[in-house]
Amino acid sequence: MTSRRAFLKAGFATLGGSVHTRSAWSAELLPGELPAGARASAQLYALPGKLPLIKKTFHPPNFETPTHYFDQLYTRNDAFFVRYHLSNIPQQSAASWRLQVAGEGIDKPYALSLDELKTQFEAVEFPALCLCSGNRRGLFQPHVPGVEWGPGAMGNARWKGARLREVLARAGVGKLALEVAFDGADSAPLAATPDFMKSLPIWKAMDENTLIAYEMNGAALPHWNGFPARIVVPGWTATYWIKHLNAINVLATPFENFWTKTAYRIPKNKFPLVERFASQESEANTPITEMVVNSLITNIEPGAQFKLGQMIEVRGIAWDGGYGVNVVETSADGGATWRAAQLEADAGRFSWRQWRAEVRAERIGAITLMARASNRIGATQTLELMHNPAGYHHNVVQRLTVSVI
């Protein structure tokens, strides 16, 4: 009889990677709120070109970054999370890649090579957090369908590329342009599966910070993160950050596609929302757009032990949709009292913000560490889960239990 481990190894082999073990990591370090099955099946696995990441699914490949990699300003490329909806992911050649720019909303359709994208448009570089809409979905109670992500479906990087609006301007954007749709090279094995395509409202596509990126952290995009080029939409969740970009269509009518009309939507008026996607709204729901304010402790694992009287350094990161985190508070008594943490240098409005604090281990036994972020427009992390069917926007204040001996 084939063992479960042998079966998994056979499945992983189709991705060309390998199973790994690491003495400093085990499924016991995963959040306790994750479904039992997600915890039981979790293991470290290295895709080609990647460090060992936490396997969520392998067809399509979905791999989560272990939390300790977030204890730095930028997430290294080989530790960056991997997220796909479709399992056919072709290796593309930089020399033969072409980007098609077309649609009824432009005057002059044309195609671009990667070299032309790099040399004929101003190169822009800045840091931005790439965060899966379903990050922390696995922590929802009760659980909801979908990839049961912990807190690692995200990464902060410096992105370099050309402004999308300049690429569109060369095509002559007309007055009737309403949305801009994007398609990538990935596809599904079955023709009946909807192609993963997304659109942006024309005003967001023309924003100076929306990029066609070809580098992250000073190097070419890794294959698993979108090589040769991808869309970067700072402040908005990563569903719009189309990888392996090969086609842009400027539309005069709302885009009709499963991934826009049905998926990646949240109940209307459920969350604080500044930037709306009005042309895709319905009476009941609206497309997910910007990230909500959130934070994460990055240097302490669940169950860590400290000595009585020890000063515990707590480090972490905080982020939002680009308005700017300006306060992080920590608690060492389960939220009874809060103290301001020290914010590190601001790397930019779309980057996460590092912070640090010190708390004293004042009593023997279990203590609960917490972190709570607020931003410049008055939004603060919630203490109660805001339920929604797809498990988006989990920003409940983290509770991390450690032991004092």
Among residues 315, 270, 276, 271, which one has the least CA distance to residue 293?
271
- Mean pLDDT value of segment 322-329: 98
What token pair was written down for 220? 């070419």
The CATH number given to 98-287 is: 3.90.420.10
- Is residue 3 very low, low, confident or very high in pLDDT (cuts 50, 70, 90)? very low
Fold held by 294-404: Immunoglobulin-like (2.60.40)
Q: 104-145 pLDDT, tens per residue?
A: 999 999 999 999 999 999 999 999 999 999 999 999 999 999
Mean pLDDT of 321-330: 98
Who contacts 373 (Cβ-Cβ below 8 Å, separation ≥6)?
293, 294, 295, 318, 319, 320, 325, 327, 328, 380, 381
Average pLDDT over residues 200-213: 98
- Name the residue ranges covered by the structural domains of the chain: 4-79, 98-287, 294-404
Is the model's pLDDT at 202 over the cut of 80? yes
Model pLDDT, residue 37: 84
- Give Cα separations from 305 to 227, 299, 300, 302, 335 (angstroms): 42, 13, 10, 9, 20
pTM to 2 decimals?
0.93
